[in-house]
């Protein structure tokens, strides 16, 4: 490896930051960040982005070239550039192709592929290797030997065998070498369903028929047993219905499910099915995006999810080029935000610093007891009084959002939410009548400290911050109640209370069409503006969301202790 790096004291400083508490677990192979990477990526407490070195990560792509630019090395380099990483290439073949098919393949001599790999490793160094079309058995063997020679432990192997157009890109005899030589030294294998079954066939194993999500899991597990440390099985060839079965008609296609399996991982990454002809190079792009996230230090499950959403957005924002299967839009998020368009809230809820507060709020004991019907009526009565007082201020905050809005559409959106809150308050008044309470009684009741603290925090954000910050401060209430009610509604079926649940009307209020539409409106408003923010502003908004979420939990605590 690069001797100048080995002599540099600066490298030790980099490693100290990069390991973020994992130095005691690292087995040094040589002074290179990827040695730390490989060990740390296995940890259930793998470090997050805040602790990752700012040095550009180096991705070596060993793959074939696509003359049309949609797949192969060209797609890899675009994806890597979009992720802010540095791409190097070892070209295994040149292809003459376009969006309609492959008309010719010119293989690179395997020894020259080896020389390209040697040149990159000896000078620049490599954090992650990504492979694509390897073209021949001899080249597969070269790659496997190079991974071992240079101890390149973090590799993403996309076993490209057949092009989107149907052209054969890897001879069958090469598949056998791939199984015997390359899979045992692979960190992550990313086959599609046909490739996975072809690998099983060449390994002498029975194919796995896929008819649902369970079939996908079985196929992924079968391939993982052949040697790769982890497998991400891509399910795009067989879209599923909403309930996870194989779609048998175009109208039933709702979900694309990818399965990640490996030590400590066995999960399904579900994405909405998109009807699009622009899917050329999706496999290459996905594998390169994962390679970048692994190089940045993300744990493999997080890296896979982020990459899947990157590809999802690439398809969604693609433009039609050519007359066949067109390419993705690789640069949909060049503003370097950690989420794609319309993905802010999903990103927010998946953050490790958000999840504890969000889970405590949405799975609070008060909520659970409403779901099973065991909440004492007097406790619920006190909650309803305080919630009425809260909703008055919630309406004030949304009216303030309308005042701070810059466009007529956003002003109208805030007005619609206030109108819904008025409807929600009317429902509260009706429910409280069952407890012998009228509107005047509730208005004369003293606000609890939790209610005052929460509502004044939101109103203070509205006064001191911008429109979006106020919307984010309001989001835990708007979004959380809908999610809580949906879960409690499902409980009535999966684990019904022994007695009729007196809180069913509360649950139904928050899964009703008018409330779900209000939530959608609120989400859409936030998503429209979130993509215009800087990464540093996103972090500030996350902090506001976490604090407001904790205030919601304090509201449950107040009600439960009454």
Please name the residue that has the structure tokens 């500030």: 540
Contact assessment for residue 160 and residue 132, using Cβ atoms and an 8 Å cutoff? yes
Contact assessment for residue 223 and residue 189, using Cβ atoms and an 8 Å cutoff? yes
User: Could you tell me which residues are beta bridge partners of residue 255?
Assistant: 240, 272
Give the DSSP H/E element, type plus range, for residue 218.
Answer: helix 213-224
Buried b (16+ CB within 10 A) or exposed e, 344-360: bbebbebeeebeebbee
Q: How far apart are CA 432 and CA 469, in angstroms?
A: 33
234 carries an active-site annotation: yes
- Select which of 164, 282, 549, 553 is catalytic: 282
CB neighbourhood size of 554 (10 A): 17
91 carries an active-site annotation: no
HEC per residue, 289-307 = HHHHHHHCCCCHHHHHHHH
Q: How far apart are CA 546 and CA 554, in angstroms?
A: 12
462 carries an active-site annotation: no
- Select which of 281, 326, 343, 462 is catalytic: 281
Q: How far apart are CA 208 and CA 219, in angstroms?
A: 6
Q: Which of 482, 463, 469, 465 is nearest to 521 (CA)?
A: 482
- Select which of 78, 181, 229, 234 is catalytic: 234
Q: How far apart are CA 87 and CA 292, in angstroms?
A: 10
279 carries an active-site annotation: yes
CA quadruple 103, 106, 139, 283: dihedral, nearest 10: -40
- Select which of 69, 72, 283, 371 is catalytic: 283
Q: How far apart are CA 342 and CA 325, in angstroms?
A: 25
Q: How far apart are CA 467 and CA 461, in angstroms?
A: 9
Dump the DSSP string for 56-74. PPEEEEEEEEETTSSSHHH
- Select which of 284, 432, 451, 477 is catalytic: 284
Q: Is 102 helix (H, G, I), strand (E, B) or coil?
A: strand
> Which residues are marked as active site?
234, 279, 281-284
């Amino acid at each position: 490896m690069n001797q100048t790096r080995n002599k540099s004291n600066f490298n030790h400083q980099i490693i100290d930051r990069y390991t973020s508490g994992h130095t005691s677990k690292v087995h040094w192979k040589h002074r290179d960040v990827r040695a730390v990477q490989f060990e740390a990526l296995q940890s259930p407490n793998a470090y997050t982005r805040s602790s990752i070195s700012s040095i550009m990560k180096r991705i070596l792509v060993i793959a074939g070239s696509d003359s049309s630019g949609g797949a192969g090395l060209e797609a890899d380099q675009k994806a890597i550039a979009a992720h802010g990483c540095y791409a190097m290439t070892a070209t295994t073949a040149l292809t003459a192709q376009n969006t309609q098919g492959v008309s010719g393949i010119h293989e690179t001599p395997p020894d020259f592929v080896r020389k390209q790999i040697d040149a990159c490793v000896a000078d620049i160094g490599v954090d992650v290797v990504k492979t694509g079309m390897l073209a021949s058995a001899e080249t597969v063997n070269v790659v496997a030997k190079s991974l071992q020679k240079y101890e390149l432990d973090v590799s993403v192997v996309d076993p490209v065998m057949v092009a989107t157009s149907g052209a054969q890109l890897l001879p069958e005899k090469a598949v056998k070498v791939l199984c015997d030589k390359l899979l045992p030294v692979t960190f992550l294998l990313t086959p599609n369903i046909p490739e996975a079954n072809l690998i099983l066939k060449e390994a002498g194993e029975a194919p796995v028929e896929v008819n649902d999500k369970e079939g996908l899991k079985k196929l992924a597990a079968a391939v993982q047993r052949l040697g790769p440390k982890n497998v991400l099985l891509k399910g795009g060839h067989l879209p599923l219905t909403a309930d996870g079965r194989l779609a048998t008609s175009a109208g039933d296609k709702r979900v694309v499910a990818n399965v990640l399996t490996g030590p400590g991982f066995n999960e399904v990454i579900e994405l909405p099915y998109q009807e699009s002809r622009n899917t050329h190079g999706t496999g290459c792009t996905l594998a390169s995006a994962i390679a970048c996230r692994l190089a940045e230090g993300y744990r493999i499950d997080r890296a896979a999810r982020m990459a899947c959403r990157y590809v999802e957005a690439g398809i969604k924002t693609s433009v039609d080029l050519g007359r066949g299967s067109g390419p993705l839009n690789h640069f949909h998020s060049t503003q370097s935000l950690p989420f794609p368009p319309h993905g802010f809230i999903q990103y927010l809820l998946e953050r490790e610093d958000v999840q504890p507060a969000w889970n405590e709020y949405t799975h609070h004991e008060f909520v659970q007891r409403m779901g099973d019907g065991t909440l004492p009526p007097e406790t619920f009565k006190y909650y309803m009084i305080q919630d009425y007082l809260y909703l008055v201020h919630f309406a004030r905050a949304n009216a303030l959002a309308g005042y701070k809005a810059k466009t007529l559409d956003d002003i109208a959106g805030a007005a619609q939410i206030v109108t819904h809150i008025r409807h929600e308050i009317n429902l509260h008044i009706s429910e409280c009548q069952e407890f012998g309470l009228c509107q005047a009684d509730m208005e004369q009741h003293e606000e609890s400290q939790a209610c005052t603290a929460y509502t004044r925090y939101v109103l203070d954000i509205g006064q001191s911050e911008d429109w979006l910050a106020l919307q984010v401060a309001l989001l835990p209430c708007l979004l959380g109640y809908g999610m809580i009610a949906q879960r409690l509604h499902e409980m009535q079926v999966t684990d019904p209370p022994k007695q009729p649940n007196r809180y069913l009307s509360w649950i139904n209020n928050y899964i009703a069409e008018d409330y779900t539409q209000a939530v959608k409106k609120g989400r859409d408003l936030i998503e429209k503006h979130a993509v215009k923010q800087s990464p540093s502003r996103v972090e500030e908004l996350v902090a506001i969301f976490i604090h407001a979420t904790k205030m919601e939990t304090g509201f449950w605590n107040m009600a439960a202790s009454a």
